Structure 1
Amino acid sequence: MTASVIPQYKPLIAEFKDIDNLSSSDFEIFVRDLFVASGWTDAEITQTGKEFKHGDGGVDIFAWKGKRKFAIEVKQRQLGTTVDVKALNQLVTGATLANVTYKILVTNSWFTSEVKARALRLGVELIDRDELQNLWVIKHSEIGRDIKPRTYQQDVINEALALHAAGKSKLLIEMATGLGKTYTAAHLIKRLIQKNSRRPRVLFLAHQVEILLQSVTAFKNVLGIGNFSFSACFGGTHPEDTDFVFASFDTLYSKLDALSAGAFDYVIVDEAHHTLAKTYSAVVSLFQPQLLIGLTATPYRTDNRDVVSFFGGADGHIGKFDLVWALKNKKLAFPKYLVLLDDLDQDKIDQLESGLSLSDIDKLLFLHKKDHEIVRLIDKTVTEQGIENVKGIIFCRNIQHMNHLIAFFEPGTATLVHSKMYDQERRENIRLFREGDYKYILVCDLFNEGIDIPETNLLIFMRYTGSRTIWLQQLGRGLRKTPNKEFVHVLDFVGSLERLNEIKGLAKEIEQQPRYHGSTIDDPEEMDAPGVYHDTSLEVQFSAEAAKVLALLEEMKMQLNSRDVLLDKLRRYREKNDELPSIAKLEQELADISLDQIATHFGSYLSYLTSAFNEDVDIPSMRTRLIEFLDTFIGENNMAPSFYTISLNFGVNPLYEFSEKEIQQLLPDYDNLVSARIKVADSQVESDMPVKEVDVCPWIETYRGKPLNLVSFKQLPPDVQKQIKNKYQSAFVFLKKLKDAL
């Protein structure tokens, strides 16, 4: 083949949306040149009657990537139309005639669901309008990459293999967005297959079709084409008898009756924190593979259900390369974080200094500025920060908030997407944001997972008070790195003191995170990529108002960790130390956490533990300690302690280990326990007391002949109870004396 040399990429268009105005031949040239700019070589457009006797034979371009030759078919369509299986069949036929294994179908439109499913079975890569625009923006494609694991990925693979060899059948791999979770899993599966001589059966599960298609590319790059068979199971299709099945949860859930527990040797679950949802867990729990692998960037759920335990427990939780690690090691675009707060007047500052509860402070500071004022402030801040060619994602509280807020943006500058939209409408709005003049796209329940817009250079959080987990998911998704994007601006209209403190805490965590000593770049494509130097500290600016609040909180000694932060620190402590800190050592063992914070968020230490670990808490030992306390107290006082008394004994001010209600739940047989122990104490008193005449005592004379027991004794006036106890040491001894005097 004669090389087609293009010394410098000179696109035929100025803006991506102009591709629709190209002629068919120019569109082919555009695609060829874009592929060359993105790493392919020797790209040639086929000529009628040259490579094939008739027409182009179903192949428009031949190109090389490394040692792999690709057959590329280009289909230009009108917007609103789709590419069907006819084009797919043409490409497969043409590639077969040309004896080319690797195939790509490209369009400026989109593909039908049938094409997506069949392409996977036939080994065809698909580039639709969205992926073509990604290629236009970043000049890079995962297709055809011949890569080896990065050092930190290899560390995870080695640990996984060692744990599996030692008997572990479940693993959870935690890696932040952009660190290559799927490639790590693909290399791990490759190693496992090499150790097993028989045909493998592998299931890859995800909740979005986009994730499945991206994952197929990664597995093909690692395992090659032709070595294994692949199939798709989404959009209602049935799982096929192939080596690898890439399936969506909803479709596989509807096909469970046709599957057996031993259908797959290895099961991989992407975005594994979803697994505890009812339908997802039903799918995963059906199978009994040799190894179950969960992949996630965020192992903790907003409802605090235990994902780690589902995937085999703390000893199988590996990787732990989280967002902090990724930022420290420059694997994500760095956020330039600006924290904005409502204006503060002296009255508000005075109220802060007077000492208020956390909820009162939140109400004081965060419920004032109107949405139309915030929209104006966004435009003002964008201008002041010098952000050019704005493409901003705005995270809203809910769909209602989003629909209300968009009315305040200048017409033609903002659009929105949410999960209740039809797919076609959502896709069209995203296209208009990427290609048109829209500066902003408003979202609330999308863009946490699976969807990337490389052009994004601004993230805006609209007074969002949701969980730390969701916040970090959204932040990480917006920070995916591209060759021409080293920084992302972030505007956070903080909605609570917790968020204010979380931002400050994130900066501190990044500062304290040790640098990884191994290489994080083993791919030549990455080594050659241009970059902008920056240090590894998080750049956070606080508005004057936010800075005032932080200063006041510092003076007030208020360390306001959020509930999620408290849970995360406790979970990580147990994973590292394989034990839990005692209540007396909590502040010593968990950095920047106070007993007051735990009491505020959870009420008791037991509630803190159960919120973090559900039922994975040593309840029997707690019950034993409570019973031992009953023994001691009754033995010393000859009376039963109240639940309040017990709670006071098990605590370090201001945090109780158990609330009164929790003690009742731990000791449902409290009355029987007390009764048995008082009888023992009664017999001991009788045996120890010398026989003597009944004392003549005014208290004895006062209550002689009156029915009095422990319950009615507690109903006596407090000063009377005190005087009697001073004379007789306890109510029990007095009641015994009274009984003897009858």
Structure 2
Amino acid sequence: MEGLFLDSRRLLDGPWNAFERDIARLLVQNGFEDVRIVGGPGDKGADVLGVKKGRLWVVQCKFTSGGYPDPRAVDEVIESGRFYGAERYAVATSRPWGPAMHAAVDRWAKLGIKVDRLDPPSLVTMMRRSPEYPRSRRDLRRYQECCVDKLVGALRETGRGQLVLATGLGKTVVMAEATAQLLRDGVIDTGRVLVLADKRELVDQLQRAFWQQLPKTVPTHRLADGEEPSFWDGITFATVQSVASRLDSIPEFGLVWVDEAHHIGSESFRKVIDVLSPPMLGGATATPWRGDNYDIDQLLGEPVIRMGIDEGLRRGFLCEADYRLLADNIDWEFVRNQSRHSYSIKELNTRLLIPTRDEEAARMIADIFQREQRQSVVVFCASVAHAKAFAGMLRLYGFEADAITGDLEARERDKRMAALRKGSLNAVTTVDIFNEGVDVPDVDMLAFMRVTHSRRIFVQQLGRGLRISPHKEKVVVLDFVSDLRRISEVVRLQAAVAGDVERLHFMERVVQFHNAGAGEFMLDWMLDQADLMTREGDSKLDVPQFNFPEPAKPGSVQ
């Protein structure tokens, strides 16, 4: 059974978590929907969940390097099925079943509960009968086909290829299709591909996204969190940190991809790429700008295609955005003077929580959410403390709300993300978790509560709401701008600093928001630049170009 993604090498050598993921991929390959890997602490005995023909399956996976699998897996899958409300049960094993496991299945069968046997012979048969590509494989749009052709051509001819596509336009699909084509044509040296990312969550999402576009002959692996592939043929998805720590032991790769390629200028990425020196190097990003002015074209070459949010919207490839700027009446000089720390303008939003302002913003979000029948909202906050506080504020206004932040354990983040996707949470507050690698196409409302923003972060976060979904006609964006106007996607956000968060109460001062015009904000932004104190390492701020009309002179009519 060599040459399939789940073959004798995986069954014999694992590792166990790769076996578990291959079982999930096998379900995807055979038309299961909403396939999720749930194994881990608190999984209630389940490892993989999937839906087929409206029925929920729960699968317990047992990888063993020798001997019979533990027969307790049968009882565990029944228990987990009851917890998750499953209608079908299965146990997948890497070794043949022993008499005790068969007896356990027969015992439950007498009670009217069937447990499907996914032992090695059954898995081999299922793999061979699987379609060449998953039924969920995405058909490429014409511009995506063009991207694949140009990317493949650039990689074959120059060994370099860069793709710039706005969030929601399918850059991961393009990378996966380009990789499949290059592997199919046999032009990748060694037949090994490495896909690099800077976070574990991105690694997992990339691997899952690639599955939908790959033939069953291409195995996938993971190098992260201490996990290492038992063999390297096919595609390995890895964090740059995991590769950097193993540069002396990992094999050569014929093609290396850098996802979110704006990171490629960082020291860790450049070191890895320099040591690996792959014959082909590709990268894709929605936001090619870096605060340190490093030119990523140096490593990747000129982009073969650029398509930003504006063109994506104009051509109907992104969801319509109903963008509303909401200005407050807070006197920020008053705030600074009232604060016991006398924070500078640039520090206010990372160090202060202003309950009065948050309460008014939460009220407006709730009012618009209900009046315009929105499904779910993501609120971008200034800090972890602010995200948690604002989630509590939203709950007071009737939302099922929670914070998804970087201080949560990975399993808890996954749990809350799943709740958002299935609708049991309709409001999420966050800081930067949603910037990269998060796919929530049904989100139809965004709210920005941060005062300052970098162009890259703003575009990344705005892109979370621009994905097309059959369940929404537009995304409503509420931008609660304050002292530094978002019109310009202005300044780089200062890294969060450690220390206490000060809560400043306004007593009788009431915060109000009003809708403001773009021309007014443009003038205010230019004045605001004078308030910015240059930080060490900051790049020079250039006045951006806009297509807004000139604002009317005072006293005139427009």
Same fold (TM > 0.5): yes
Which residue number in structure 2 is paired with residue 324 of structure 1? 310
**Aligned equivalents of 1:222, 1:448: Cα separation in 2:** 24
2:414 to 403, 427, 433: 427
Does residue 336 of structure 2 align to residue 377 of structure 1? Answer: no
1:285 to 263, 274, 283: 274
Structure 2 match to 1:186: 176
Compute the displacement of 1:461 (Å): 0.6
5+ unaligned residues in a row in structure 2: which ranges?
1-47, 58-77, 95-116, 335-344, 491-511, 545-558
| Residue in 2 that maps onto 1:243 | 234
Return the offset for 1:377.
Answer: 2.7
In the alignment, structure 1 residue 204 sits paired with structure 2 residue 205:
no
Distance 1:178 1:497 in 2: 27
| AA at the equivalent of 1:298 | T
Offset of residue 291 of structure 1 = 1.0
Aligned position for 2:320: 334
Tell me how far apart the structure 2 counterparts of residues 338 and 611 of structure 1 sit (CA, whole Å).
22
Q: 1:62-73 to 2 correspondence within 5 Å?
A: none
Letter in 1 for 2:284: L
Report the Cα distance in structure 2 between the residues aligned to 1:442 and 1:544, rounded to whole angstroms: 20
Contact (CA 8 Å) 1:182, 1:218: kept in 2 or not? yes
Give, in whole Å, the separation in 1 of the partners of 2:486 and 2:303: 27
Q: How does 1:565-604 map to 2 (within 5 A)?
A: none
TM-score (norm 2): 0.61
What is the distance in 1 between the residues matched to 2:270 and 2:411?
A: 29
> Which secondary structure state, in structure 1, belongs to the residue aligned with residue 83 of structure 2?
coil
> Corresponding residue for 1:230?
220
C-alpha deviation, 1:268, in angstroms? 0.9
**Contact 1:501 1:561 (C-alpha < 8 Å) held by counterparts:** no
Contact 1:101 1:225 in 2 (8 A): no
For the 8 Å contact 1:177–1:297, the answer to whether it is kept is yes
Is the 8 Å Cα contact of residues 344 and 545 (structure 1) preserved in structure 2?
Answer: no
Equivalent runs, 1:107-146 vs 2, <5 Å: 143-146=134-137
- Structure 2: how far apart are the matches of 1:403 and 1:202? 40
| Paired amino acid for 2:362 | V
Which has more radius of gyration?
1
Per-residue CA distance 1:618-645 (angstroms, 9 max, x = gap): xxxxxxxxxxxxxxxxxxxxxxxxxxxx
Q: C-alpha displacement at 1:376, in angstroms?
A: 2.2
Equivalents in 2 of 1:424, 1:237: separation in Å? 17
**Cα distance in 2 for residues equivalent to 1:462 and 1:100:** 49
1:321-342 Cα distance to aligned partner (Å, 9 max, x none): 1222222222222222222112
Change (3 A) 1:185 1:343: same
Alignment CA distance shift 1:183-1:433 (3 Å) = closer
Among the aligned pairs, what percent are the same residue?
28
Closer, same or farther in 2 for the Cα pair 1:419/1:500, shift >3 Å? same
> Distance in 1 between the 2:159 and 2:385 partners?
44
Distance in 2 (alpha carbons) for counterparts of 1:464 and 1:369 = 16
Distance 1:153 1:178 in 2: 12
Q: Show the counterpart of 2:487.
A: 500
Q: Secondary structure at the match of 2:51?
A: helix
Match of 2:52 in 1: 32
Quote the residue 2:456 is aligned against. 469
Q: CA deviation at 1:196?
A: 2.9
CA shift, 1:225, in A, is: 1.1
CA distance in 1, matches of 2:463, 2:429: 17
**Residue aligned with 2:477, SS:** strand
**Does structure 1 retain, via aligned residues, the 8 Å contact 2:324–2:477?**
yes
Per-residue CA deviation, residues 701-739 of structure 1 (Å, 9 max, x unaligned), is: xxxxxxxxxxxxxxxxxxxxxxxxxxxxxxxxxxxxxxx
Give the secondary structure class of the aligned counterpart of 1:257.
coil
Q: 1:388 to 1:242 in 2, by over 3 A?
A: same
1:275 match: secondary structure? helix
The amino acid that maps onto 1:342 is: D
Cα separation, partners in 2 of 1:229 and 1:562, compared to 1, 3 Å: farther
Partner of 1:396: 381
SS at the partner of 2:54?
A: helix
Shift of 1:484: 1.6
Q: Which has the higher contact order (CA 8 A, sep 6+)?
A: 2
Q: Please say if 1:276 is aligned against 2:265.
A: yes
User: Which residue number corresponds to residue 266 of structure 1?
Assistant: 255
Of Structure 1 and Structure 2, which has the larger fraction of its residues in helix? Answer: 1
Distance in 1 between residues matched to 2:414 and 2:155, nearest whole Å = 42
Distance across 1 between alignment mates of 2:249 and 2:329: 61
Amino acid at match of 2:51: V
Q: CA deviation at 1:403?
A: 3.2
**Aligned mates of 2:423, 2:542 — CA distance in 1:** 50
Task: In structure 1, list runs of 5 or more residues that go unmatched.
Answer: 1-26, 37-42, 44-72, 105-122, 124-141, 349-358, 504-542, 564-596, 613-742
User: Is the contact made by 1:459 and 1:490 (CA closer than 8 Å) also made in structure 2?
Assistant: yes
Is the 1:203–1:264 Cα contact (8 Å) retained in structure 2?
yes
